[in-house]
A and B are shown apart, each in its own frame.
Chain A
């Protein structure tokens, strides 16, 4: 797996592996154009907080969510590029994920 060696605060999203279909927010990210560490920009359609994921491209229902170059679960619905990827539209392929509905969207 790859971990970032050097990051610049100029970028708000991080692609951990070239195979990934999600990007990670390295700060709070508002809707609109956001730059990606390593190059490129993407139109973010739902704002996310630090550590949350954004779809790097359209993802279809049932497709594996790829982060760190490995599957971390499956999409439970079609996901648009730039949308928030989280427990409302993906699930573990092992055990159900426990969350509190009051906090799951992030600590804004």
Chain B
């Protein structure tokens, strides 16, 4: 395995040129800049809001300095509140090339697109000559999410990813699982796996916060397709989702944008702190993947059963299909057919397959969603308090 060495010591498994819009008004220009160059590594991310938000600012800074990113073009309308100066400085301080186009000062749409494409194309050429260095499994950060879950998720895909996580953690990698709103009912058994009693308290609190947050909103983290596939309650969905975490000791609790300080298994607390504001914690699966990336995830293991098709900007998504009927219908979108467990394939074989695929993708093999051009991205408003000292015990 080889990676792109960054100035902070982290290594990337891809070398993308990111085009980042800083308000929805600049989205079209950013998309037009990247579209003809997306097959060569140009990708679009951005924040749609016009009001400032510390979470969004931190997320964009983390994403633009993600180890899989080699250069960044910022696209500003000009009058939005997002602090483009601070973002550009953070990127520049990381040693990456960065350029800002302000549409209002660049002659409008047409000339902004033209000059943006020219800059991105020049960066793609420059990055093509980038050197790689040896990279070890222990330098990987791997996230996992599930989406479009059903009654098969907890039997096949999620426990198979759990086995792969166990092997990755044993190899020294950092692994992140998340969606505290989908761990409701599991807080007790999860807390028993904490490295310290103080961390156990924090893990329980994070799930209690999620239960309270969703109760206020009136909905659990549960979609209609979950019920179609046989899941009847958030507790049932949670037990299946929890299996993704495997059986390793839980080394810490992080929030979006916190980067695991060392190898081990981490829970990401994705539910905002304080009173309920800004709506649902994560409005779709892509929002979860984006938070994984902001915490440094090189790739995400995505367990789906109803049949998600999404990939992601910046970090590859490996799709593990839990439902064998879905796999038959959508094989082109799926990297792993975990539903084979239901017809006799040992779960351990699936765990090994996912582990091996993780290393192959880290070594440059494209995932199905990468081949199909999926590069979804979304970022919305949230607010968090910093994690406490008990969350990352040494």
Q: Which residues of A contact B (CB under 8 A)?
A: 1, 3-9, 14, 16, 24-27, 48-53, 65, 67-68, 70-73, 85-87, 90-100, 103-107
Residues in A with CB closer than 8 Å to B227 are 86-87, 97-100, 103-104
Whether B185 contacts A49 by the Cβ 8 Å rule is no
Whether B189 contacts A8 by the Cβ 8 Å rule is no
B392 within 8 A of A: no
Which 6 residue pairs across A and B have the least CB separation, nearest first?
Answer: A51-B151, A51-B230, A92-B233, A3-B159, A95-B220, A99-B227
Whether B239 contacts A1 by the Cβ 8 Å rule is yes
Whether B222 contacts A97 by the Cβ 8 Å rule is yes
B29 to chain A, nearest CB (A): 37
Whether A104 contacts B151 by the Cβ 8 Å rule is no
Residues in A with CB closer than 8 Å to B348 are 5
Residues in B with CB closer than 8 Å to A52 are 151, 229-230
Contact A68 B239, CB 8 Å, known A94-B184, A95-B220, A106-B230 = yes
Whether A72 contacts B233 by the Cβ 8 Å rule is yes
Contact A1 B230, CB 8 Å, known A51-B150, A68-B239 = no
Closest to B211 in A: A94
Q: How far is the CA of A53 from the CA of B152 in the complex (A)?
A: 11
Can you offer 6 A-B residue contacts whose CB atoms are under 8 A?
Answer: A1-B239, A7-B343, A7-B344, A51-B231, A95-B184, A103-B224
Whether A99 contacts B342 by the Cβ 8 Å rule is no
Q: How far is the CA of A98 from the CA of B227 in the complex (A)?
A: 8
B353 within 8 A of A: no
- Chain B interface, number of residues (Cβ within 8 angstroms): 45
Contact A5 B347, CB 8 Å, known A70-B239, A103-B224, A104-B224 = yes
B330 within 8 A of A: no
Q: How far is the CA of A4 from the CA of B349 in the complex (A)?
A: 13
Whether A51 contacts B242 by the Cβ 8 Å rule is no
A48 to chain B, nearest CB (A): 8
Contact A3 B344, CB 8 Å, known A86-B232, A96-B219 = no
Residues in A with CB closer than 8 Å to B224 are 98-100, 103-104
Contact A94 B155, CB 8 Å, known A5-B346, A9-B342, A103-B227 = no
Whether A50 contacts B152 by the Cβ 8 Å rule is yes
Q: How far is the CA of A58 from the CA of B347 in the complex (A)?
A: 31
Residues in A with CB closer than 8 Å to B229 are 50-52, 106-107
Add 16 more A-B contacts to A86-B227, A97-B220, A103-B228 (CB < 8 A).
A1-B239, A25-B151, A50-B150, A50-B342, A51-B229, A70-B235, A72-B235, A90-B232, A92-B234, A94-B215, A95-B222, A95-B234, A99-B226, A99-B227, A99-B228, A104-B227
